[in-house]
Copies of this chain bind each other. A is one copy, B any other.
Amino acid sequence: MNDLQPITHNPSLDLMLERTTHVPVELVWRAWTEPELLKQWFCPKPWSVSEVELELYPGGAFNTTMQSPEGELFPSEGCVLQVVPQRRLVFTSALIRGFRPQPPEGNPVGAFLFSGIVDLEAEGEGTRYRAYAIHGDSEGRNSHEAMGFHDGWGAAFDQLVELMSSPEFRG
């Protein structure tokens, strides 16, 4: 029942970052799923991530707090939807812990309302990495793109690769 379904990419609604890296899938997966690692790469510098709460099961919390260079905090709550180790992680900002719809007062809109799909495939000893932002309408997609989706998710991915290339993660 939890077979991996193909992702239907709709370019008019969805954004996608595709990369290949020498970092193996096991380490890309760890970077996404271990809060202490996620904090180190998830936000392009000079922004940072001050807190991560990640419950790695369907219905678990995926909460992050981003911090501006000036120290301002931007907490956001989301929900983990699907966990297929070393293969796929799905989460959304439309729900919070326990599959609960976002409270209307905190409901993300536009660029901030999306589901994220991280799709990994082993490619040689490295990884083919695809990260999708799935929006409900083209306005949301377009404002996410205008906010700098490709540069931002790309810079974060470069930070992931740098982090997971450090000697402590070598097999």
Contact B103 A137 (CB under 8 A): yes
A residues whose Cβ falls under 8 Å from a Cβ of B: 1-3, 5, 7-8, 13, 56-60, 81-85, 90, 92-96, 98-105, 107, 109, 113-115, 117, 134-137, 139-140
Contact B100 A136 (CB under 8 A): yes
Contact B115 A99 (CB under 8 A): yes
Question: How far apart are the CA atoms of A136 and B1 in the complex, in Å?
Answer: 28
The 6 A-B pairs of least Cβ separation, nearest first, read: A101-B136, A99-B115, A1-B83, A94-B94, A103-B136, A58-B82
Chain B contacts for A56, CB-based, 8 A: 1
Task: Kindly provide the distance from the CB of A101 to the nearest chain B CB, expressed in whole angstroms.
Answer: 4
Contact A7 B98 (CB under 8 A): yes
Contact A99 B103 (CB under 8 A): no
Chain B contacts for A82, CB-based, 8 A: 58-59, 99
Q: Indicate whether A102 sits within 8 Å of B59 (C-beta atoms), given known contacts A2-B83, A85-B1, A92-B95.
A: no
Contact B58 A90 (CB under 8 A): yes
Q: Indicate whether A58 sits within 8 Å of B2 (C-beta atoms), given known contacts A95-B94, A95-B115, A115-B95.
A: yes
Contact A59 B5 (CB under 8 A): yes
Contact B2 A2 (CB under 8 A): yes
Question: How far apart are the CA atoms of A131 and B81 in the complex, in Å?
Answer: 20
Contact B84 A99 (CB under 8 A): no
Instruction: Kindly report which residue of chain B lies nearest to residue A80, judged by CB atoms.
Output: B1
Question: How far apart are the CA atoms of A136 and B108 in the complex, in Å?
Answer: 13
Q: Which of B1, B134, B139 contacts A100 (CB 8 A)?
A: B134
Contact A101 B58 (CB under 8 A): no
Q: Indicate whether A98 sits within 8 Å of B59 (C-beta atoms), given known contacts A83-B1, A136-B103, A136-B104.
A: no
